[in-house]
Structure 1
Amino acid sequence: MASTSRTRTGRGRGRGRGRGRGSGSSSLPPPPSTLPLIIEEFFIVVYEDPLVKKVRTPKKIADYLDGKEPAKVYLRAADCGPRLWTVEVLFDGQGRMYLDKGWEKFAIAHGVDFGCYVHFKYEGDDVLTVKVFDGTMCRRYYYSDDEDTDDESDDDVKPCIHPL
């Protein structure tokens, strides 16, 4: 008896990974350089005393806001009630953006200190939700017993309370 060997022709199962059916095109997304720049989240590492210095945001944030530079933003601590903290924003004309007046009150109330990581998420209408991580990379969770959401008339800093 003669033996016959069969060869695979590439048809059927196991055919061309990553190809669309019948199109022969790649299913990979376009390279990042061709996608529009959308920045919704960023973080900063606090290297200096946040009560003495204004806080510089990443350059890509300033680039993203080029032409629509807000005079102020509103910070809302995640898990800390509806209170909005008004913070003035400065642009230095050299492509850098800073959180300035009002940042100190927010930092005191939320325990932002040297070595903290502060995560910001843009929620629209110049509102940023903020999460604070301590130097051990653990997130701080807060709640607020303050019903007042208008910090314009409030000269006293009422800290959020860390639940233990």
Structure 2
Amino acid sequence: MAKEEHRGARRPQFLKLLTPGCFLKLEIPRSFIKYLDKSEHRKATLFSPLMGNFWHMSIVKEGCNMYLSSGWGSFAQAHNLEAGRFVLFRYEGNMVFTVKLFLSDGCLAEHGANNISPRRILLQEPIDVEDSSLDDAAGSKPKSILSCGYIEKNIDVARTNIVKRTIKD
């Protein structure tokens, strides 16, 4: 009986074959949209177990289609994604996805192997930011959402998982 309950708790997933035109925005399959939270979809978070990082990105709706947009290109660049590879998205709920990366031969990508290498990247793109550093020391203020022009981020994608951000006016 416990096995039946575990099977019923399966999380929805979808697999995307990366094509040359998908590195600025990535379409979420229409048949998958029904699994997403019913609230207004503006942001999504991808968790990459490969590098141990969370990646925040915006969701864009165009007609009946939904796309991972601002932030997706940064994720793809940091993970050395290229056309012919596959990405498996598992929906965890609350617009959070765990992703697994596969090479063009179908093998799971591994950190430190020849297929994925950590890199330092400099990104400039417009995004909305939830910045917990705006909270005061006592933690009495709620998180603020900033809508700013551009954010310059220096991201060290390495074993130490250091992320440095500076907000430009």
**Structure 2 residue aligned with 1:48, among 8, 16, 20?**
20
SS at the partner of 1:142? coil
Higher strand share: 2
CA RMSD after TM alignment: 3.2
Is the contact between residue 39 and residue 64 of structure 1 (CA under 8 Å) also seen in structure 2?
A: no
Q: 1:103 to 1:114 in 2, by over 3 A?
A: same
**Structure 2 residue aligned with 1:103, among 72, 81, 89?**
72
Is the contact between residue 11 and residue 92 of structure 2 (CA under 8 Å) also seen in structure 1?
A: no
- Alignment partner, residue 136 of structure 1: 105
For this pair of structures, how many residues does the alignment match?
A: 119
Deviations 1:34-91 (A, max 9, x none): xxxx86211111112443x31111111223338434211111112322x211011111
Deviation, structure 1 residue 141 = 1.7
Q: 1:115 to 1:160 in 2, by over 3 A?
A: farther
Q: 1:124 to 1:89 in 2, by over 3 A?
A: same
Q: 1:125 to 1:64 in 2, by over 3 A?
A: closer
TM-score, structure 1 normalization: 0.60
- Alignment partner, residue 81 of structure 2: 112
The answer for unaligned runs of 5 or more in structure 2 is: 1-9, 113-117, 121-128, 132-150, 160-169
Which residue type is aligned with residue 18 of structure 2?
A: V
- Alignment partner, residue 158 of structure 1: 156
Question: Greater CA radius of gyration, 1 or 2?
Answer: 1
- Is structure 2 residue 63 aligned with structure 1 residue 70? no
SS at the partner of 2:32? helix
**Structure 1 residue aligned with 2:56, among 72, 83, 86?**
86
Q: Could you tell me how far apart the structure 2 residues matched to 1:58 and 1:139 are?
A: 22
Deviation, structure 1 residue 154 = 6.6
- Alignment partner, residue 29 of structure 1: none
Q: 1:63 to 1:125 in 2, by over 3 A?
A: closer
Find runs of 4+ consecutive structure 1 residues off by over 6 angstroms.
150-154
Q: Could you tell me how far apart the structure 2 residues matched to 1:39 and 1:97 are?
A: 19
Is the contact between residue 73 and residue 127 of structure 1 (CA under 8 Å) also seen in structure 2?
A: yes
Which residue type is aligned with residue 87 of structure 1?
A: M
Q: Could you tell me how far apart the structure 2 residues matched to 1:50 and 1:59 are?
A: 16
Identity, % of aligned positions: 28
- Alignment partner, residue 60 of structure 1: 31
Deviations 1:99-127 (A, max 9, x none): 10000111111111101110011122221
